[in-house]
Amino acid sequence: MMKNLSKDALITLEKELTARYAAFKAKGLKLDMTRGKPAGAQLDLANGMTTILPATDFKSADGTDARNYGGLDGLPEMKELMGAILGVPADAVIVGGNSSLQMMHDQIVRALLHPVPGATLAWGQQKIKFLCPAPGYDRHFGICQHHGIEMITIAMKDDGPDMDQVEKLLAADASIKGMWCVPKYANPTGATYSDAVVDRIAKLKAAPDFRVFWDNAYVVHDLTDTTDPLKDILAACAAAGYPDRVYIFGSTSKISFAGAGIAAMAASKANLADIKKHLGMQTIGPDKVNQLRHLRFFKDLAGVRAHMKKHAAIIKPKFDAVVAAFAKELGGKGIAEWTTPRGGYFVSLDLLDGCAAQVVKLADEAGVKLTNAGATFPYGKDPRDRNIRVAPTLPPLDQVETAMQVVALCVELASARKLLA
Amino acid sequence: MMKNLSKDALITLEKELTARYAAFKAKGLKLDMTRGKPAGAQLDLANGMTTILPATDFKSADGTDARNYGGLDGLPEMKELMGAILGVPADAVIVGGNSSLQMMHDQIVRALLHPVPGATLAWGQQKIKFLCPAPGYDRHFGICQHHGIEMITIAMKDDGPDMDQVEKLLAADASIKGMWCVPKYANPTGATYSDAVVDRIAKLKAAPDFRVFWDNAYVVHDLTDTTDPLKDILAACAAAGYPDRVYIFGSTSKISFAGAGIAAMAASKANLADIKKHLGMQTIGPDKVNQLRHLRFFKDLAGVRAHMKKHAAIIKPKFDAVVAAFAKELGGKGIAEWTTPRGGYFVSLDLLDGCAAQVVKLADEAGVKLTNAGATFPYGKDPRDRNIRVAPTLPPLDQVETAMQVVALCVELASARKLLA
């Protein structure tokens, strides 16, 4: 345990670490671990998708010409596939363009401008708040901040958000209108919500226009041969008497192509009718030719699952390298805790309080770009300045290994300096 | 001239027309002339686009992997191509997804929620109005109505909107914040704005957050070998001292695939910076693989123009058939006027006041679906109930011919009954 070292021993350690850090710095590294982007090798897995549509195949199962206008909520068979991926009935699905983030953003905008089912006022006519389990996804928080929605940080536990805190806050404050959730292999902690947590979310006493934004981004993104079970939130909300509580989101961005996949959302009948009323003013419909490409290539959920095993084969070694480096360099020192994800795109690293920004800075100066410290919290401010999101998928394995050596060293150095201060 | 007929002659004529109408009705036709959709043969022209990208070609000119995340405003070479199509510099362009309607809608939503450059209040914090040259595009008016923006109808002339009316209204009412324009081969009249009209729009005295929505949907959609000249509104606004006045929109929807094309918008530097600030919250970026497909297929503006000639070869005979049927059946009778478009997607038909809804109803009962009467006006209400939008591109030529016979007969019948009433 570093904190048990004497001051002299710490001073010696700090000098030694500083020397090792200088040696890394001298190497002039240029490594980027900032974003959860798939690697080229992962994208290559779906290259066949681009050539799979012959120039004569444009009809969907119901005879629709995918090239022409129309199809506001997607081809029926694409709803089937996205429903199967998201674990909801096909008729609960609206297929979108290439971005689930856009579907989330646009749903918030719709609710800001027009009352959601069950409400009389639009969110924009009130001062509203969102619950934000954190560490979480920076782009979720960015949407709230951009639109002036106040964010309340909720602690993330191994089985999901701290529901005691959520229940207490909601009971006391009717201006809380939303909650962000990444329920499976959460960004960045990798946690999957337990059945009990899903049920508690479904049963929350809340305002009639309270909505859960259920970003199931990693639903089929297993790193191992098993998949974490996740209870069906749509059914749970219906069973609890709050059928309109949840908007579910997902996409094939990290299945097919990150920038040219298919996004979708799912919701109750009343929510779907409401969304389509607005959507019909915004667009004539999403790209159905790209839907056909996906359908011809993946065929069904089994096809998707088989494809995801190929992804796992590429990225699992990178996750293993991150965890192995942390275990080797940081294990037993009492200065860091990290997750060992079973799926998703991130490793979450917690340091001694007050060390995260310093580690990101040190790593940056040594040529290793990390996601900004604080990015995983509302307003970009980690109250304990201790969480770092590690995104190992994009760089090649050897770069991940090198980068993690640098990061581990920076953690040690920052910790020693912190303990000396 | 039908109106010069004696009452007896009119009664005889009405009986004869009713008999002919009954004969058409007995045929059990099922023809759809409602929407400006390309025909299958037009879509076929771009089929090669779907197979043009080999499974090994994903790099844009600057080395970007089009499959991955990123590229908020599009690939540089796609900006070049859309800039060339829209007649603006590439660096004034933001490339979108598959829908220019969505870019227009989202721009209105952004302005409702956040002040545009030059403004202190968002539009949503005020009671605002839009000027709507009409007959015009129903989906433009739909966006305004949906978001509670009051619409003021402006008369459409052969050289664009009635600018005397526009100038007078703007001088008297600072709550007018927007104006819809389809400046070339306008929907549905086919008019192209004259240089004088473009200049008067650029020089309008208006609120600092007054914005012109310049939907240049038909910019390269000529039906003849020449193209109507259209003055550069972006340059005109800059020259007039109002660089931020205009948002320009366009797409390849009616060039490549209606549902799987590439949309774009163009604006001043200040507007672009503002838009990108918001867009970065909404999405990580549009589908760049589809951009590459378009680039490989069309190459440049010359490629687009050559392609559009093939479109014209398919649809010009349909427009000719519409105009020929009207000339033959309605010419000289003083009951209808129609446009002879040089480009675009519509023929605009003006009847005796109070006849449009009746003609649409009669045609529908005889198996010919037309766009709803009134659709081309704000709130779906044509104050004179006289305009019908004819969309001849989708059905095969023989169906267009048959449908126009029915429509012409319905016009005669409704007119005779009107004159008798």
Q: Residue A57: what pLDDT?
A: 86
Contact A105 B281 (CB under 8 A): yes
Residue B77 belongs to domain spanning? 59-299
Q: Please list every residue in chain B whose beta carbon sits closer than 8 Å to the beta carbon of residue A47.
A: 55-56, 58
- Who's near B379: CB < 8 A, 6+ residues apart? B141, B145, B151
* Residue B210 domain flag: yes
Q: Are residues B278 and B167 in the same domain?
A: yes
Q: Residue A215: what pLDDT?
A: 98
Q: Please list every residue in chain A whose beta carbon sits closer than 8 Å to the beta carbon of residue B281.
A: 105, 139, 142-143, 146
> What distance in Å separates residue A226's CA from the closest CA in chain B?
27
Q: Please list every residue in chain B whose beta carbon sits closer than 8 Å to the beta carbon of residue A109.
A: 109, 113
Contact A48 B58 (CB under 8 A): no
- Who's near B34: CB < 8 A, 6+ residues apart? B369, B370, B371, B391
Which ranges of chain B have pLDDT less than 70? none
pTM assigned to the model: 0.97
Q: Name the residue in chain A with its Cα closest to that of B108.
A: A282
Of A246, A272, A299, the residue that ends a domain is A299
- Who's near A115: CB < 8 A, 6+ residues apart? A121, A122, A209
Q: Are residues A182 and A274 in the same domain?
A: yes
Q: Name the residue in chain B with its Cα closest to that of A101.
A: B283
Question: Which of A43, A99, A101 comes nearest B68 by C-beta?
Answer: A43
Cα–Cα distance for residue pair B41/B237, rounded to 1 Å:
39
Pairing of strands A176-181, A160-161: unpaired
Q: Residue B35: what pLDDT?
A: 85
Give me the number of domains chain B comprises: 2
Residue written as token pair 């006045």: B245
Q: Are residues A249 and A353 in the same domain?
A: no
Query: Which tokens is B42 given?
Result: 């037009």
Q: Are residues A209 and A311 in the same domain?
A: no
Q: Residue A55: what pLDDT?
A: 87
Q: Are residues A130 and A153 in the same domain?
A: yes
* Residue B49 domain flag: no
Q: Residue B55: what pLDDT?
A: 87
Q: Are residues B276 and B187 in the same domain?
A: yes
* Residue B101 domain flag: yes
Q: Residue A13: what pLDDT?
A: 97
Query: Which tokens is A147 given?
Result: 């639109």
Whether the ω angle into residue A229 lies within 30 degrees of 0, i.e. cis, is: no
Q: Please list every residue in chain B whose beta carbon sits closer than 8 Å to the beta carbon of residue A105.
A: 281-283
The domain spanning residue B116 has which CATH number?
A: 3.40.640.10
> What distance in Å separates residue B257's CA from the closest CA in chain A?
5
* Residue B46 domain flag: no
Q: Are residues A182 and A227 in the same domain?
A: yes
* Residue A266 domain flag: yes
Query: Which tokens is B308 given?
Result: 């559009």
Asked if B323 contacts B367 with a C-beta cutoff of 8 angstroms, the reply is no
> What distance in Å separates residue B413's CA from the closest CA in chain A?
34
Q: Are residues A189 and A76 in the same domain?
A: yes
Q: Are residues A294 and A309 in the same domain?
A: no
Of A237, A268, A299, the residue that ends a domain is A299
Consecutive H or E run containing A350:
strand A347-351
Tens of pLDDT, residues B131-184? 999 999 999 999 999 999 999 999 999 999 999 999 999 999 999 999 999 999
* Amino acid letter, B126: Q
- pLDDT per position in chain A (421 positions), as tens? 899 999 999 999 999 999 999 999 999 999 989 888 999 999 999 999 999 999 888 999 999 999 999 999 999 999 999 999 999 999 999 999 999 999 999 999 999 999 999 999 999 999 999 999 999 999 999 999 999 999 999 999 999 999 999 999 999 999 999 999 999 999 999 999 999 999 999 999 999 999 999 999 999 999 999 999 999 999 999 999 999 999 999 999 999 999 999 999 999 999 999 999 999 999 999 999 999 999 999 999 999 999 999 999 999 999 999 999 999 999 999 999 999 999 999 999 999 999 999 999 999 999 999 999 999 999 999 999 999 999 999 999 999 999 999 999 999 999 999 999 9
Tens of pLDDT, residues B365-397? 999 999 999 999 999 999 999 999 999 999 999
* Residue B48 domain flag: no
Asked if A183 contacts A230 with a C-beta cutoff of 8 angstroms, the reply is yes
Best of B49, B56, B108, B284 to disrupt the A interface (most A CBs within 10 Å) is B284
Q: Residue A261: what pLDDT?
A: 98
Contact B281 A146 (CB under 8 A): yes
Q: Are residues B340 and B415 in the same domain?
A: yes
Helices A138-146, B269-282: crossing angle, 10 deg rounding: 130
Number of residues in chain B: 421
The domain spanning residue B367 has which CATH number?
A: 3.90.1150.10
* Residue B39 domain flag: no
DSSP 8-state class, residue B4? G
Cα–Cα distance for residue pair A368/A363, rounded to 1 Å:
5
* Amino acid letter, A296: R
Cα–Cα distance for residue pair A254/A219, rounded to 1 Å:
11
Q: Please list every residue in chain A whose beta carbon sits closer than 8 Å to the beta carbon of residue B283.
A: 99, 101-102, 105
* Residue A231 domain flag: yes
Count of CB atoms situated within 10 Å of the CB of A75: 22
Evaluated on CA atoms A65, A67, A70, A76, the torsion sign reads: positive
Tens of pLDDT, residues B200-227? 999 999 999 999 999 999 999 999 999 9
Q: Are residues A295 and A339 in the same domain?
A: no
Q: Residue A340: what pLDDT?
A: 97
Identify the CA nearest to B109 among candidates A151, A118, A279.
A279
Q: Please list every residue in chain A whose beta carbon sits closer than 8 Å to the beta carbon of residue B101.
A: 282-284
Residue written as token pair 């600092």: B208
Contact B56 A47 (CB under 8 A): yes
Q: Are residues A287 and A351 in the same domain?
A: no
Q: What is the mean pLDDT of chain B?
A: 97
Contact B284 A47 (CB under 8 A): no
Strands, DSSP E only, in B288-400? 336-338, 347-351, 368-370, 387-390
Residue written as token pair 């001292």: B241
Of B243, B268, B299, the residue that ends a domain is B299
Q: Name the residue in chain A with its Cα closest to that of B278.
A: A146
